[in-house]
């Protein structure tokens, strides 16, 4: 009997899905239940039905998991950004390891039980870890606010203190919003078409106690320079204030070039013995604590010696390239983001690194060009977007056959698909999940592949 919207059903939750939801079966129909935990029994209402699956809303938990906890965030029910706050942290780490196993079972021919999938590397404190926030502005009856939108809705949730943001980000955001509000600025919405504010982007680096603030606007107003100066003068750790004009046709928060309002165009960070400059629109890992563990793991995994040529693909601001250059003969860092490559070149100069070449171009076009010049890598480091590797990149890897590939992934599904496309040319030595985003369903991992 086919499910229909509104049906009341009971389910045994068999596993955790890739988005953190519970998964059960009703008359062989796959049912996803947000908020449910494996081994629970729930009564739920069907809210969506497709050909091969349905979605249910918990009405009552009939058998409660011993791993269930009360979410510490007061916005949990409305915000929806932290999908797994209701699950004990140690169990979250097990679930993320399980999600990787599920992906390899589904998308590859590997015997998953024979793969060396390590335990997830977690955090001592799984809160206050994000070093960057991107929050939309909204007008409320109490004035200007920032927050998030409830998933799959236009319902705005005002967030005064996000418990996964570094506490300094919450402090800075609150003071910036007050300054803008006191100066009469409004968010751009249907009720206030003259309002110009769209997003507030804040990055804070704890080691150097420095922050950047970027205000995304619908149009530029000259008074923004006054706001920039006020932010710099009243919030001591803000070193950079910029603005960018929003492109409503783009899904990117920062969709156009940045312009300086006050301070510098970048802020500084430190990593091991490196000094690093970071522009507000350049890519930088959002979890500083876990970033350090991840880079250490990459260096430990990679077999790099004084004669090694390394390709660092999707290299960001160049931290991994610079670290690898200390033990390699030459490193080529490639990234499509001009802002990131500009920072990478400056960071190499700042740290007196001369055996790294950075290329601002899409990997799928730059990598074949290097290969056609006769440059063959011994080791390739990959850190692609969630969509995974483009076919041209997989073809280039299959052509050059580097001795090792270190694949840093933020999407277990595309990781498994990409490795499967490499056929039997590589063996999986190990897969190490690392929890970059605690309390969410995001799964980061480092996979070491070695040539057969």
CATH classification of the domain holding 160? 2.40.50.1070
Of the residues 248, 271, 294, which one is the last residue of a structural domain? 271
Give the whole-angstrom CA distance, residue 269 versus residue 334.
21
Q: Is the pLDDT of residue 452 over 80?
A: yes
435, part of any domain = yes
114-129 confidence digits (pLDDT tens)? 999 999 999 999 999 9
Residue 437: CB partners within 8 Å, gap ≥ 6? 164, 286, 287, 444
To the query of whether residue 410 is one of the catalytic residues in this protein, the response is: yes
Residue 437 is predicted with a pLDDT of 97
* Interval 359-370 mean pLDDT: 95
Average pLDDT, the chain: 95
> Could you tell me where the DSSP H helices lie in 6-111?
76-79, 89-107
**Tokens standing for 179?**
């300054």
pLDDT-derived band of residue 191, with 50, 70 and 90 as boundaries? confident
pLDDT of 5 > 90? The answer is yes
Would you say residue 45 has pLDDT above 90? yes
3-state SS assignment for residue 324: helix
Do residues 262 and 203 share a domain? Answer: yes
Q: Are residues 219 and 309 in the same domain?
A: no
Q: Do 301 and 404 lie in a common domain?
A: yes
Residue 19 has pLDDT above 90, yes or no: no
Q: How many residues does the chain have?
A: 452
Residue 101 resides in a domain:
no
Please identify which residue in the block is written with the tokens 């024979």. 114
Please give the pLDDT value at position 154: 84
Q: Is the pLDDT of residue 81 over 90?
A: no
User: pLDDT, tens digit, for every residue of 275-326?
Assistant: 999 999 999 999 999 999 999 999 999 999 999 999 999 999 999 999 999 9
pLDDT band at 251 (very low <50, low <70, confident <90, very high): confident
Lowest mean pLDDT among 1-5, 242-246, 312-316, 432-436: 1-5
pLDDT value of residue 190: 82
**pLDDT for residue 423:** 79
Q: Which residues on neighbouring strands pair with residue 318, listed in sequence order?
A: none
Same domain? 259 vs 303: no
In sign, the C-alpha dihedral spanning 372, 374, 378, 379 is: negative
Strand order, beta sheet including 53-63 = 8-12, 41-49, 53-63, 29-33, 22-26, 15-16
Is 250 inside a domain boundary?
yes
What is the sign, positive or negative, of the torsion defined by CA atoms of 383, 244, 267, 122? negative
**Has residue 271 got a pLDDT over 80?**
yes
* Domain-located, residue 125: no
Both 56 and 157 in a single domain? no
Specify the range with the lowest mean pLDDT, choosing from 76-85, 206-215, 348-357. 76-85
| 292 and 331 assigned to the same domain | yes
Torsion angle of the four alpha carbons 304, 305, 306, 308, in this order, in degrees rounded to the nearest 10: -50
Last residue of a domain, one of 239, 271, 303: 271
In a domain, 442, yes or no: yes
Q: Which two tokens stand for residue 356?
A: 């790294």
- Three-class SS of residue 347? helix
pLDDT of residue 151: 79
267 and 137 co-located in one domain = yes
Burial class of residue 387, CB neighbours in 10 A (0-12, 13-18, 19+):
exposed
- Catalytic annotation, pick one of 44, 73, 79, 410: 410
pLDDT band, residue 21 (cuts 50/70/90): very high
How many whole angstroms separate alpha carbon 265 and alpha carbon 26? Answer: 56
- Residue 318 inside a domain? The answer is yes
Domain range for 435? 285-451
pLDDT tens, position by position, 132-157 = 999 999 999 999 999 999 877 888 99
Are 307 and 220 within one domain? no
pLDDT exceeds 90 at position 176: yes
- With respect to residue 226, please indicate whether it lies within any of the assigned structural domains: yes
Rounded Cα distance between 338 and 414, Å, is 25
Angle of the 224-234 helix axis to the 167-182 helix axis, nearest 10 = 140
Average confidence (pLDDT) over 262-271 = 95
Residue for token pair 């793969």: 115
Max distance between CA atoms of the chain, in angstroms, equals: 69
What CATH number did the domain enclosing 24 receive?
A: 2.40.50.140
**pLDDT value of residue 401:** 95
pLDDT recorded at residue 18: 86
The number of CA neighbours under 13 Å toward the Cβ of 316 is 19
pLDDT band at 424 (very low <50, low <70, confident <90, very high): confident
**Strands 274-278 and 267-271, sheet pairing:** antiparallel
Pair 291, 265 in one domain = no
Q: Residue 333's pLDDT is what?
A: 97
Do 446 and 434 form a contact (C-beta atoms < 8 A)?
yes
Give the pLDDT confidence score for residue 256 in this predicted structure: 86
Structural domains in the chain (count): 3
Is residue 345 in a domain? yes
Rounded CA-CA distance 135/197 in Å is 11
Dump pLDDT digits (tens) for 313-362.
999 999 999 999 999 999 999 999 999 999 999 999 999 999 999 999 99
> Mean pLDDT throughout 198-223?
97
- Confidence category of residue 180, pLDDT binned at 50, 70, 90: very high
Judgement on whether residues 263 and 296 belong to the same structural domain of the protein: no
Sign of the CA dihedral 362, 372, 426, 308? negative
Which of 338, 313, 317 is CA-nearest to residue 268? Answer: 317
* Residue 10: predicted pLDDT: 97
Q: Render the burial of 141-160: b for 16+ CB within 10 Å, e for the rest.
A: eeebbbbbbbeeeeebbebe
Are both 307 and 221 inside the same structural domain? no
Q: Are residues 227 and 149 in the same domain?
A: yes
pLDDT by residue (tens digit) across 46-75?
A: 999 999 999 999 999 999 999 999 999 999
CB 9 within 8 A of CB 25: no
Tell me how many degrees the CA angle 375-378-383 measures, rounded to the nearest 5.
95
Q: Which of 271, 299, 332 is the last residue of a domain?
A: 271
pTM: 0.93
């Amino acid at each position: 009997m086919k499910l229909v919207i509104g049906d009341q059903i009971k389910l045994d939750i068999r596993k955790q899905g890739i988005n953190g939801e519970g998964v059960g079966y009703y008359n062989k129909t796959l049912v996803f239940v947000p908020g449910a935990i494996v081994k629970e029994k729930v009564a739920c209402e069907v809210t969506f039905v497709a050909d091969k699956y349905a979605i249910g809303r918990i009405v009552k938990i009939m058998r409660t998991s011993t791993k269930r906890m009360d979410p510490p965030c007061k916005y949990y029910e409305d915000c929806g950004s932290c999908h797994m706050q209701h699950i004990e942290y140690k169990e979250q780490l097990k679930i993320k390891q399980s999600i990787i196993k599920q992906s390899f079972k589904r998308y590859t021919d590997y015997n998953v039980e024979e793969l060396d999938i390590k335990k997830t590397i977690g955090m001592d404190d799984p809160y206050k870890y994000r070093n960057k926030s991107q929050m939309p502005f909204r007008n409320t009856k109490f004035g200007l606010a920032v927050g998030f939108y409830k998933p799959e809705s236009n319902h705005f949730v005002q967030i005064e203190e996000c418990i996964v943001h570094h506490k300094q980000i919450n402090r800075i955001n609150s003071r910036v919003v007050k300054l803008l509000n006191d100066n009469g600025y409004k968010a751009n919405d249907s009720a206030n078409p003259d309002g110009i504010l769209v997003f507030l982007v804040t990055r804070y680096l704890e080691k150097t106690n420095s922050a950047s603030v970027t205000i995304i606007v619908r149009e530029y107003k000259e008074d923004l320079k006054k706001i920039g100066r006020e932010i710099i003068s009243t919030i001591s750790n803000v070193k950079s204030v910029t603005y960018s004009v929003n492109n409503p046709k783009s899904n990117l928060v920062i969709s156009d070039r940045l312009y300086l309002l006050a301070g510098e165009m970048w802020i500084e960070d430190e990593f091991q013995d490196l000094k690093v400059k970071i522009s507000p629109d350049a890519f930088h890992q959002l979890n500083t604590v876990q970033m350090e563990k991840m880079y250490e793991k990459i260096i430990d995994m990679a077999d790099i010696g004084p004669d090694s040529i390394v390709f660092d693909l999707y290299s960001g601001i160049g931290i991994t390239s610079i670290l690898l250059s200390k033990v390699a003969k030459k490193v080529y860092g490639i990234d499509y983001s001009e802002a990131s490559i500009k920072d990478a070149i400056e960071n190499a100069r700042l740290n007196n690194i001369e055996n790294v070449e950075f290329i601002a171009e899409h990997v799928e076009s730059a990598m074949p060009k290097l290969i056609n010049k006769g440059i063959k890598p011994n080791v390739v480091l990959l850190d692609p977007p969630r969509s995974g590797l483009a076919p041209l990149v997989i073809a280039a890897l299959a052509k050059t056959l580097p001795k090792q590939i270190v694949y840093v992934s933020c999407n277990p599904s595309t990781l498994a698909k990409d490795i499967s496309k490499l056929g039997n040319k590589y063996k999986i030595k190990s897969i190490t999940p690392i929890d970059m985003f605690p309390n969410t369903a995001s799964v980061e991992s480092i996979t070491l592949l070695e040539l057969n």
